[in-house]
Amino acid sequence: MAASAVRVLSEHPFDGIDLDWEYPCYGEAGIASSPDDKRNFTLLLRTIREALDAKGSLEGRRYLLTIAAGADQYYVDGTEMDQAQKYLDFVQLMTYDMRGGFQVLTGHHTNLYAPAGDLFRISADASVNMFVRAGVPREKLVIGAAFYSRVWHGVPDRNRGLHQMAGGSGGYGPAFTELAADYINKNGYTRYWDEEACAPYLFNGSSLISYDDEESIRRKCDYVKDQGLAGIMFWEYSCDKTHRLLNAMYRTLQGNE
């Protein structure tokens, strides 16, 4: 696999390799898994790092090696992050889909903080602290933003739909392009802001949509700067043809907002 990675970098003008193994030691995605994944993941990263460094030394440059990491405790338990981080330039926390496909309880799927009254205490801030305790330096951590939404239907009309048992789990909702055109304060949906979570959501009396907007993006970017993190990433580019989210991200990180 390391040899394949080097070959890819020889054939294409990439900056490095990003691994998205979902997830070491877990087979829920229908992949083979084993407790040996925990150590083998570290060894895989070390082997790829050595191959990238060997190639880079011949060219007078450094190639990046990064991973996309699950944002909750299961990922820390299935890896050796204190050892793995030695071979990585960035650990990119997938701080989205933190609620949705597995939960019928409505809530934020890409919130910065965990609000009071939420049974699930996961958030971008909780994830950062979890990985720091696991041995990852803050300057290697990247948090994630969502350019798409999660939606619950059959939601009781209480508490503006937040933290309610819905008629089913939270599936993928509209991309931000569609949210901006047809949903945000349109067609019966009202935008609400959760100050504790630093996250917006939409509710129309029976459906709740969790998403990121310019305000939540700015809060995340300010958090990155305040906490001394490496940066922020997002999934994914084609979901925001308005470019509003990317512009907010860029301007805030540059100190223009």
Residue 100: the pLDDT is 86
Helix residue ranges, H only, the chain: 2-11, 37-59, 73-77, 81-84, 124-133, 176-178, 214-227, 244-253
Diameter over CA atoms, the chain = 63
Residue 101: the pLDDT is 82
Buried/exposed 99-130: b ≥16 CB within 10 Å, e otherwise: bbeebebbbbbbbbbbbeebebebbbbbbbeb
pLDDT digits (tens, 9 = 90+) for 148-194: 999 999 999 999 999 999 999 999 999 999 999 999 999 999 999 99
pLDDT digits (tens, 9 = 90+) for 17-62: 999 999 999 998 899 999 999 999 999 999 999 999 999 999 999 9
CATH no., domain 2-145+213-253: 3.20.20.80
Tell me the β-bridge partners of 94: 70
Residue 257: the pLDDT is 67
How many residues in the chain? 257
- Write out the two tokens for 108: 């934020």
Residue 117: the pLDDT is 86
Mean pLDDT within 88-92: 98
CA distance from start to end of the chain: 43
Distance between CA atoms of residues 46 and 18, nearest Å: 13
Distance between CA atoms of residues 223 and 1, nearest Å: 36
Distance between CA atoms of residues 152 and 132, nearest Å: 32
**Backbone torsions φ then ψ of 190, nearest 5 degrees:** -115, 135
Residue 243: the pLDDT is 98
Mean pLDDT within 78-95: 98
HSE-up (13 A, CA, CB side) for residue 203: 22
**Residue reference for tokens 């799927």:** 109
Mean pLDDT within 214-234: 98
pLDDT bin (cut points 50, 70, 90) of residue 120 is confident
What does pLDDT average to over the chain? 96
At a CB cut-off of 8 Å and minimum separation 6, what does 37 contact?
24, 25, 78
Please tell me the pTM assigned to this model. 0.96
Residue 187: the pLDDT is 98
Q: Which residues are catalytic?
A: 22
Of the candidates 42, 57, 43, the residue with the CA atom closest to the CA atom of residue 6: 57
- Give percent of the chain with pLDDT exceeding 90: 95
Mean pLDDT within 108-116: 96
Residue 53: the pLDDT is 97
